[in-house]
């Protein structure tokens, strides 16, 4: 009976440890949307962030900037027709991630926009730390297929060969 209790505590501890490690390794959700909403909230005072028309104006002003990246412009394109739907939860002080998840229910493409994985000045040993799924995503962002690639080293080689194609373009 005593060994069973010790085993149960050990198993519980392992589950808690593994779930905590998995949480840290999680890829950010709706990262571009969260950045846009956070940036908009930072441009407003506390009083303005409670006023829906002010929030809508701030969203419009933010999206009119010339300095936005292509992915931020894409999010602005998606959220422009839904400014009122976004202003409501922001005016209530909702967390940007929750705002993005809420509007993702209306337009499921919002959370699919991701920032590219930065590969400039990455050493081959750093690329080897990435998962194959991430290497495939880098190649997909560049519009390149890796036909016949089976091993991780082949994907790494292809990423290195197409380094000149990296950028923030679509």
Q: How confident is the model at residue 2 (pLDDT cuts 50, 70, 90)?
A: low
Burial 113-147 (b: 16+ CB within 10 A, else e): beebeebeebeeeebeebeeebbbbbbebbeeebe
Q: Give me the pLDDT at residue 24, please.
A: 41
Choose between 127 and 48: higher pLDDT: 48
Choose between 42 and 169: higher pLDDT: 42
Q: pLDDT per residue over 60-77, tens digit each?
A: 999 999 999 888 999 999
Q: What pTM value is reported for the model?
A: 0.62
Q: Give me the pLDDT at residue 18, please.
A: 47
Mean pLDDT of all residues belonging to the chain: 81
Least confident range of 23-27, 62-66, 92-96, 151-155? 23-27
User: How many angstroms separate the CA atoms of 121 and 108, rounded?
Assistant: 34
Q: Give me the pLDDT at residue 14, please.
A: 53
């Amino acid at each position: 009976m005593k060994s069973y209790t010790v085993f149960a505590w050990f198993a519980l501890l392992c589950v808690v440890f593994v779930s905590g490690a998995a949480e840290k390794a999680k890829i950010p959700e709706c990262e571009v949307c969260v950045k846009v909403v956070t940036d908009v909230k930072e441009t407003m005072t506390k009083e303005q962030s409670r006023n829906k028309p002010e929030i809508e104006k701030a969203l419009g002003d933010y999206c009119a900037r010339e300095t936005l990246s292509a992915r931020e412009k894409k999010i602005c394109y998606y959220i422009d027709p839904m400014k009122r739907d976004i202003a409501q939860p922001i005016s209530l002080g909702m967390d940007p991630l929750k705002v993005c998840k809420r509007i993702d229910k209306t337009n499921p493409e919002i959370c699919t926009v991701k920032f590219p994985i930065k590969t400039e000045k990455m050493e081959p040993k750093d690329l080897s730390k990435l998962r194959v799924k991430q290497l495939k995503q880098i190649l997909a962002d560049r519009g390149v297929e890796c036909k016949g690639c089976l091993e991780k080293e082949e994907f790494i080689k292809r990423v290195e060969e197409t380094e000149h194609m990296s950028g923030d373009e679509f």
